Amino acid sequence: MHLDSLGMNSNVHLIGSGPFWIYGSFYQSVVHVGQDGNQQWPITKLVVEVGPNYEQPVTLRLRNRETGKLAWWTDGQIPPSTSTQTLILNSKTNTEDVGSVPGVPDVPHGSPREGWKEWGIFPLFSVAGCYTLDVSWSGGSWQSTFAVGR
C-alpha cells in the first residue's frame, strides 16, 4: 500500500494485508541480526501499523519453519526484561506515543493519522533460519516468510 503521508512521514510504502501493515523500510526478506555488535541478544525492530479504522486486536506469532518453535517478542531492552511468544496489538489501548518502555513488548507510538495506530515491536530470534510471521485478526490473516541470520 502506498500513502502520500502517514504522520510526519511522506511517500510511505506499507507491506501487509487487511488491517496489518509493516513500514516498508523495516520489512526485509533477510533479517541480519547482531549488526549492533550484540550477538547474545539478536533483537531487531519493526514499525507496524493497524488501520485504517480497525479497532479489534491483531495477533502476531513468529514461527521457525524448520523446528516449528515460536520466536519471542521482547521489549527491545538489552537484555530483555519481558518476552512473549504471542503478541496482541490492541488499538483501543494505543492512545499515545509512550517511548521505549521496559517490560512492554508492543511499544505504542499512538496515532500517526486519524484511523491508524502504530507500534514498535521487537522480535528476538534464538537461532538463524527461515521464519514465518503469522498475523491474524477477526475475519482474516496474513503471512510472510523471511530468513534470519548474520
Domain boundary assignment for the chain: 2-149
* Ordered mean pLDDT values, 10 residues apiece, the chain (150 residues): 87 92 74 58 83 95 95 86 92 84 84 93 87 96 88
Enter the pTM of the model. 0.87
**Per-residue model confidence (pLDDT) at position 52:** 93
- Cα 52 from Cα 63, distance rounded (Å): 27
SS3 content of the chain, % helix, strand, coil (to 5): 0, 50, 45
- CATH number at 2-149: 2.60.40.2550
**Per-residue model confidence (pLDDT) at position 8:** 84
**Per-residue model confidence (pLDDT) at position 33:** 65
**Per-residue model confidence (pLDDT) at position 140:** 97
